Structure 1
Amino acid sequence: MTAESPLVEEIRTSSRLMVRELGFMHHTLAATAYSPSVVHTLLEVETRGAMTAAQLVQLLGLEKSSVSRMLAKLVNLGELEVMPSAEDARTKQLSLTAQGRETVRKINQYGNERVIAALDKMDICQQHLVSQGLRCYASALKACRDNASLNAQSSIKIVSGYQPGMIGRITEMHGSYYAREHNFGCFFESKVAAGLADFSGRLDKACNQIWLAVQNGRIVGSVAIDGEDLENNEAHLRWFILDDGCRGSGMGRKLMAEAMNFCDERQFSAVQLWTFNKLTAARRLYESFGFTLTKEWQGDQWGSLMTEQQFTRSIRRVS
């Protein structure tokens, strides 16, 4: 891709238009008296829960001194409060006050109204196209900031079997993503950790396996096949997750291919997975590997009531 490409110019032109229309050219944002960086900070603290200043520095990509001044201002204004960490009293965490939660409510109301008004100008296909495109482009931009490339897959390798730290890292990816995107909480994260701990102790069985995507020594994706916890020689696909910077890179397809090849070789009678109806991109990937929706119901196994789903894949027999 070159700078002269029409695609590059189209994206840059659209980006400038979005910046103007979303109000980022002004000193304040989202009908508040606050700057864009302050609004973004309040939204992230609301989404992720209590955070340290260091975590916000990394997330926002701003200078430490700038973030420190901004946080001190928000504490003085009554939007944030500082509390010692439950795990280490020496670590200070920032969380929203009652005033801060009300400020975020107003920001979200304003933002939702703007998005809904814009979506009403499109048909349903355009709406989904915008959602998918923005998600992929945002992930690519983040990957560039992290000095990673979604196209440089040679830096990511897939390894199988237990790796030190994998229980915590896989749990962290699940907890962070599903809290941010679907408001899952402690119940879900605890369930992931407990299930992984039990499964890791059973990896010596030939019917169980886990695959990890590793980049520069850090786990950035996972998927597992549990061949024990279901009856009738059926396999259970579990803990399929990717780090934010890897989504849209094709790494999820590579992990799924490893898992499905394993299931075919082991000749399970079927592979089952349980999910819920809001994971559209994941569903398309599952269906591309031969999974079909076999059951749908209202349930709360992840901590809140939602439309749960069961997908099934019949095994291709190896002759």
Structure 2
Amino acid sequence: MYLNTLGKEVGSVQRFDAMRIKGPCWETNSYGLYLMIFFPFICYDVRQKKIDLCSQPLLLVLFIVNIFLTGARLAIGQLALSVFLILILSGKKEVKKALLFAGVFMPAVLLFLIIFRDGMAQGIWRTIFSAVDFIFNTDYSVRFGAQADILEDSAYYRELLFNNTILKNWPDPLLGRGGAFNFHLYIEGYDIKSIDNFYVAQYVTYAWPGLIAWIFMSVSYFTDSVKKAVKNINLAKLFAICWICYFIGLWYLDQLQTFPLMMIFFALEDSITAKSKRSTLFEKYDSSLAE
């Protein structure tokens, strides 16, 4: 199934007989990553220059609907974490506004999910409880059509992947296999051809030098955001949330062509730093003229 608009294919895939949207991306998980990269910034009131979860309520609802329709457990977990962090960093007025919005919106959503739990809402319940099962090691999603063995294999596969690459120093810890290498491992009966862990993928491609370089670069942007956040720059707080959710996501997925977007966001953070420095310089110049 796919929607073809102006020659652009917007595809869909299925899991447990439920459609999972992938938007303009190649994979549903990739679309989930893209949505969660943008999510913190739709909660920024440009005019007031403050964090407000409900600054754009219609866009917020559309984002959440898209995230749930991806059927990605990771995206659901990232969404919950992002909302939690945004509320912590919001003012009291904005938190009350968000709680009021949830008080009006959530009962209607819950009613819909209960009424259609065996129909069109089954996939949403399955996605929600798949995320819950992954975190708390339960099996509630099975009641809504999920297959426990597939979910268990997915988690165990990632464990095998990490243990048999980084922990075993495979390949050579100083010389990676390069970007053109076709990864393939056969471990404990699992035929592994893809790497659903960016850090493992970075290690296989560039070995420890490449992985450490990426970590240092990423940590530098994160710490820079935190420093600005301490100075009460609200946009920097959202950048910090974005980095936290994204880097957690990379533990469970490869970057899935999200690097170009992240490079843009790194550049935007640099522009905030440059603007702040220019403002400080002008303030010092003005004060010297006044003297």
- Where on the TM-score scale, by shorter chain, does this alignment land: which range? under 0.3
Q: Give TM-score, length-normalised by structure 2.
A: 0.25
Instruction: Choose between structure 1 and 2: higher helix proportion.
Output: 2
Report 1 or 2 for greater relative contact order, CA contacts < 8 Å, sequence distance ≥ 6: 2
